[in-house]
Chains A and B, each alone.
Chain A
Amino acid sequence: MHIPDGFLDAKVAGTTALVSIGSLWVALRRVPAGAHRRVPLMGVCAAFIFVAQLVNFPVAAGTSGHLVGAALATVLLGPSAAAVVMASVVVVQALLFADGGVLSLGANLLNMAVVAVLAAAATFGLLRRVWPTTRGFYFATALASWSSIVAASGACALELAASHTVALPLALPAMTGAHTLIGLGEALITTLVLSTIVRARPELVTLPQAPAGSVVRPLVATGVVMLALVPMASKAPDGLEKVSESLGFSGLATGWAQAPLGSLPSGLLVALGAAVLGALAAATLAWVVSKALTTPSARSGHES
């Protein structure tokens, strides 16, 4: 998901850089001044996320994805610290490893340090509130990981399309479609990693201790999350077209969008279908994993 230089035009690079700088400024101010002790922890955590990103997992048909870690950082450190940590990871990758462009740094920061963290924090916060049990914690973690990946890939597709590099009906299915699958891997790994941490050092994570209640509210909340993410595939083009019209974009991409590209509506339909299927798969995965992790026999059978 690291966009290299040359893929984004000046408008997109500039806008995303401004939005990222503003968001990071807010995040930096929200890290409390008394969090003196947490500064080395954030530095080491950034290194940890970097190393964790080298972990590859199989997705489907021989392809593989790698961990992004935005949700992991959000659950472990809280959203503000997670945004700072993810920003450090992206900056070091660009400047020390040339992974992700220098000018597209703003866009990469936006996708992985802002959008991914916000999506994870919103999903996690909402689900934890409506399902305050240990099982709800794992369910929220899994769903937060999945939505962080889907939201970040959606933002990435929008940036590429707004730069006229790839037309939106092609970019969205290709990016978000693939990432609804990759997000499942991220959800599984993140949840299992957190269960390891909880078993070894329970004091590092605050687990809710409420008794199990009705599953109606969690179900409704899951539906809300899905509804927030799925329409990204269908609603976004209208908004983008409006933006591009008002900014006076012309030429290449507008030409493609209106070209006899019969797949224009069907491409978006594919994206929508993939998003719906992916959302159902993510909810099922979150359900199964959270159940397995909170069933006593499974816990003792699962050695570390």
Chain B
Amino acid sequence: MKADLGAFAGLDSPIHRAAPGLKLGGALALIVGVMLVPPTHAGWLGVPAVLVVGTLWASHLPIRFFVRRVLALEPLVLGVALLAWLQPGGAPVAALVMARSTLGLATAVLLAATTPFVRLLEVLRRLKVPPLLLTVVTLMSRYVYVLSDEAGRLDRARRSRSFVRARRFDWGNLAALVGHLFLRATNRAERIYAAMCARGWR
């Protein structure tokens, strides 16, 4: 299970203390700005770059954590950039796309790493995102790790009871694992429903 970006959301810094709505708006504005820089004036991308580095410095986030998280998502960017590079005259476009998406990625990582997810959800609620969607998102962010652990337990149980075919990819076992994960998820959903009703939900 890949870790989310909330590991250092509890630090204390001017960036962490800033209002989450302000941060979300600022991040969006920064990404829009990056997107609007025309290819003919690519030098202007230095402004958002300075802003990102400045925010990173002010946020007291460990630099290694930040760099590792940005690099982890970079391969996908490289893939599409490579595709852009292959077409005639594509090199400057590829470079521009790389710069833009790296800056966007860095901004998104900064936002997620300095703001607890619950605070972002509060902003979304104030923005009148439909309550049903927000409830599903909230429940999901709560149970992602629970189900990920559950998948680990299912896998460990299977491996401890049977041989592992190392050579061939085993579609049947994998599908059985995912299927049983769904069954456990529905059982859990029924318990959650009972617990929510017992606590006066709706």
Q: Which residues of A contact B190 (CB under 8 A)?
A: 40-41
Given known A-B contacts A102-B104, A165-B93, A170 and B140 have beta carbons under 8 A apart? no
Q: Which residues of B contact A46 (CB under 8 A)?
A: 136-137, 139-140
Q: State which residues 9-65 of A face B: CB under 8 Å.
A: 9-10, 13, 24-25, 28, 31, 36-37, 39-48, 50-52, 54-55, 57-58
Instruction: Encode B140-152 as 1/0 by CB contact (under 8 A) with A.
Output: 1111101110010
Q: Which of A114-122, A190-198, A230-238 sits within the interface?
A: A190-198
Q: Which residues of B contact A55 (CB under 8 A)?
A: 174, 178
B19 at the binding interface (Cβ < 8 Å) = no
Taking a contact as CB atoms under 8 Å apart, the answer to whether B179 and A196 are in contact is yes
B53 at the binding interface (Cβ < 8 Å) = no
Taking a contact as CB atoms under 8 Å apart, the answer to whether A4 and B101 are in contact is yes
B105 at the binding interface (Cβ < 8 Å) = yes
Taking a contact as CB atoms under 8 Å apart, the answer to whether A89 and B179 are in contact is no
Q: State which residues 146-172 of B face A: CB under 8 Å.
A: 146-148, 151, 169, 171-172
- Residue among B39, B84, B88 facing the most chain A CB atoms (10 A cut-off): B84
Q: Which residues of B contact A287 (CB under 8 A)?
A: none
Smallest CB gap from A3: residue in B: B80
Taking a contact as CB atoms under 8 Å apart, the answer to whether B175 and A192 are in contact is yes
Given known A-B contacts A96-B5, A197-B183, A259-B89, A42 and B97 have beta carbons under 8 A apart? no
Q: State which residues 67-122 of B face A: CB under 8 Å.
A: 69, 73, 76-77, 80, 83-84, 86-90, 93, 97-105, 107-109, 111-112, 117, 120
Q: Which residues of A contact B100 (CB under 8 A)?
A: 5-7
Q: Which of A80-88, A131-139, A273-281 sits within the interface?
A: A80-88
Q: Which residues of B contact A91 (CB under 8 A)?
A: 133, 137
Instruction: Bin chain A's interface residue count.
Output: 35 or more
Taking a contact as CB atoms under 8 Å apart, the answer to whether B185 and A45 are in contact is yes
A210 at the binding interface (Cβ < 8 Å) = no
Q: How far is the CB of A99 from chain B (nearest CB, A)?
A: 7
Taking a contact as CB atoms under 8 Å apart, the answer to whether B105 and A5 are in contact is yes
Taking a contact as CB atoms under 8 Å apart, the answer to whether A88 and B136 are in contact is yes
Q: Which residues of A contact B105 (CB under 8 A)?
A: 4-5, 98, 101
Q: A304 CA to B176 CA in the complex, in Å?
A: 6
Taking a contact as CB atoms under 8 Å apart, the answer to whether B31 and A102 are in contact is yes
Given known A-B contacts A41-B186, A44-B147, A166-B80, A28 and B140 have beta carbons under 8 A apart? no
Q: A47 CA to B189 CA in the complex, in Å?
A: 11
Taking a contact as CB atoms under 8 Å apart, the answer to whether A259 and B179 are in contact is no
B202 at the binding interface (Cβ < 8 Å) = yes
Q: State which residues 99-153 of A face B: CB under 8 Å.
A: 99, 101-103
Instruction: Encode B169-202 as 1/0 by CB contact (under 8 A) with A.
Output: 1011011101111110110111011001000001
- Mostly, the A contact residues are helix
Q: A230 CA to B5 CA in the complex, in Å?
A: 40
B2 at the binding interface (Cβ < 8 Å) = yes
Smallest CB gap from B70: residue in A: A98
Given known A-B contacts A88-B133, A189-B175, A167 and B87 have beta carbons under 8 A apart? yes
B35 at the binding interface (Cβ < 8 Å) = yes
Q: A9 CA to B4 CA in the complex, in Å?
A: 28
Q: Which of A10, A39, A47, A256 contacts B87 (CB 8 A)?
A: A256
Q: A157 CA to B1 CA in the complex, in Å?
A: 29
A94 at the binding interface (Cβ < 8 Å) = yes
Smallest CB gap from A52: residue in B: B178
Q: A252 CA to B133 CA in the complex, in Å?
A: 39
Q: A138 CA to B102 CA in the complex, in Å?
A: 42
Taking a contact as CB atoms under 8 Å apart, the answer to whether A261 and B185 are in contact is no
Smallest CB gap from A185: residue in B: B171
B15 at the binding interface (Cβ < 8 Å) = no
A78 at the binding interface (Cβ < 8 Å) = no
7 shortest interchain CB distances as A-B pairs: A43-B139, A5-B104, A196-B179, A6-B100, A192-B175, A6-B101, A46-B140
User: Which residue numbers of B lie inside 8 Å of A, CB to CB?
Assistant: 1-2, 4-6, 27-28, 31-32, 34-36, 39, 69, 73, 76-77, 80, 83-84, 86-90, 93, 97-105, 107-109, 111-112, 117, 120, 130, 132-133, 135-144, 146-148, 151, 169, 171-172, 174-176, 178-183, 185-186, 188-190, 192-193, 196, 202
A-B contact pairs, 30 of them (CB 8 A): A5-B31, A6-B35, A6-B103, A28-B130, A39-B132, A39-B193, A40-B193, A42-B139, A43-B136, A45-B182, A51-B148, A52-B181, A57-B171, A88-B137, A96-B117, A98-B105, A98-B108, A99-B73, A101-B108, A102-B107, A164-B93, A165-B80, A189-B175, A192-B174, A195-B175, A196-B178, A252-B39, A255-B89, A256-B87, A304-B176
